[in-house]
Amino acid sequence: MHCTLPDLLMSRGGLHVFHRTFSKSIIQSKCNNRLAHNTLYQLTPRLKPFSTFASLRIHTPATTVAPTINSLSTTLPGILQFARTQLRNATHRDVPRSGYRSSRPPPRRPNWLDSINGNVIFVTIIAINAGVFLLWQGAKSTYQTTRDPTLWIFLRNNFLVNWENITSGRVWTLITSCFSHQDVEHALFNGLSFYFMAPGVMQVLGNARFLGLYFLGGIASSVTSLVWNRFYKHDNISSHGASGAILATIAFYACAFPRTTFLIFFVIPCPAWAFLPGILAFDVYRSVTDARTRTDAAGHVGGMLSGIGFFLWKVALRR
């Protein structure tokens, strides 16, 4: 009966015949006596008809070949792991996907304002305020001595916020008024407050954000005063935005350092956490009761609220 090799392998008897024939041919071969001596294949008793060659067990006698096989079995997995790792590193790159968003906020881009020495910005703001204040004093003195209102009109049209200036298109007064003081006591009080509190706020925020806080306070103060006096009091009052800008700085300082002690009128000590709500409530009261005073209380309220809001925005961003 003629049978092919696959037919023999499909039956259990064929597997035994194939094994005896294959083992006998190896033992009788004269090509390599050492290989014939160390190679012996024996089928397991539980071999099934459809078992593959993976089911065969290789039994080797205790000869010098056994350590070699054991060392290969030990090092082979390491070699395969090394090959898989190097192959993956060569064919895969950790490139972020276009739709990937990190949970961490991206780092801030460096601002050229932050590269400037903070003392330069600090002194510049004081110098501009002092210069505009001296211009107001010179305009007042000139008008009293020569009755020439030219400088006075220039300052009124370019450094005060009122309904006439805004409706006439002089909207830059929202910025220039942030450096305007007209009265001596007003300029002295705001100047000393700015001198003691601005450096600490500048260290917390940096130069760029400090300027943002300063102009935000001045603009918010002027807009609050403009809207309040126009639509609530029905009065045309001019506003200096410098008070609002400096009060925004004071409010931020009080929120950032609530345990700091303030000196009211430079005499009475008061913690910052009590000073800020106290002065805010006082200015709100003066605005509502229409107390006859030269101080723009509504502008003060707008400046302090902007400083508090800026602090809350900073805390919300955790920056």
**Residues 279-291 pLDDT 10s:** 999 999 888 887 5
Q: What pairs with residue 41 in β-bridges?
A: 58
**Residues 62-79 pLDDT 10s:** 444 444 445 445 555 665
CA distance 182 to 160: 10
Question: 30 pLDDT exceeds 80?
Answer: no
**Residues 265-281 pLDDT 10s:** 778 889 999 999 999 99
pLDDT attached to residue 217: 94
Structure confidence at residue 292 as a pLDDT band (50, 70, 90): low
Average pLDDT over the chain, rounded to an integer: 75
- Report field, pTM of the whole predicted structure over 0.75: no
